[in-house]
Amino acid sequence: MAAVAAAALATFNAALTRIGFRAEAIGAMNQNQVTSTASLIGMNKDDVEQLMKIIRGGQGAPIILVPFMAQRRFTIFCYWINRHNCLGESIAPNLFTDHSIISYGRLMTQEDKDEETEGVKAPSEFKTGQKWKPLKEGCIAFFNTNLGMDRVPFSYIICPDAQPGDPAAVYPNEHARLIAIAPHQGLE
């Protein structure tokens, strides 16, 4: 049992090394009970910022260098973990690759921009009982432009398939993938 836990910790620490952390910073993270991808579930940008303050030598501890890009990649790592966890996908640290850093970094940045423009007004078709076709088109447009929990577009609600799609399948873009693979039931 201890060998399995040690191997899991080594795999997690190897991911932190790939991200750009030095051994001292990784040790400080482990001391703060950041020892697995599961320990990062629910961690957001503010939590990462607080953790980095502690690691960099907050509260009288010795100063440990944490490069800016390592912190940025770690923030993306936490974002990737939260997205994959919400969608029921594996959060194994070895799956977080350079490609993941680029694609999820772009997605995270885009979502930050989207938050500034969110709050799209409901189309006029929602306000009156007009004919079905304009209402249907209005619903689709409205659900495509509004995001729900964990930034999954509301379009998955009106997905024609009752079962979520295959996460490994090829989709035209991340928006279409999220709609296709979103679970149709809660996590409880």
- Domain coordinates in residue numbering, the chain: 2-115, 119-181
Which residues contact residue 16 at a Cβ distance below 8 angstroms, ignoring those fewer than 6 apart? 25, 26, 29, 74
Query: If DSSP states are collapsed to H, E and C, what string results for 127-172?
Result: HCCCCHHHHHHHHHHHHHHCECHHHCEHHHHHCCCCCCCCCCCCCC
CA distances from 73 to 1, 28, 51, 150, 169 (A): 31, 17, 14, 19, 26
What's the confidence (pLDDT) of residue 48?
A: 94
What's the confidence (pLDDT) of residue 141?
A: 79
Name 147's bridge partners.
153
Q: Nearest 5 degrees, angle CA 56-CA 111-CA 42?
A: 50
What's the confidence (pLDDT) of residue 188?
A: 44
User: Cα-flanking dihedrals φ and ψ of residue 116, to 5°?
Assistant: -70, -25
Among 125, 107, 122, smallest CA distance to 154 is for 122
Name 153's bridge partners.
147
CA neighbours closer than 13 Å in the CB half-sphere of residue 61: 15
How far is the C-alpha of 53 from the C-alpha of 32, rounded, in Å? 12
pTM: 0.66
Copy the structure tokens of residue 137. 């088109």
What does the chain come to in residues?
188
Residue whose structure tokens are 């594996």: 90
Cβ–Cβ < 8 Å for 156, 179: yes
How far is the C-alpha of 156 from the C-alpha of 164, rounded, in Å? 9
Which of the two residues, 182 and 69, has the higher pLDDT score?
69
Copy the structure tokens of residue 155. 């379009």
pLDDT tens track for 59-117: 666 788 899 999 999 999 999 999 888 888 899 999 999 998 998 998 888 877 766 65
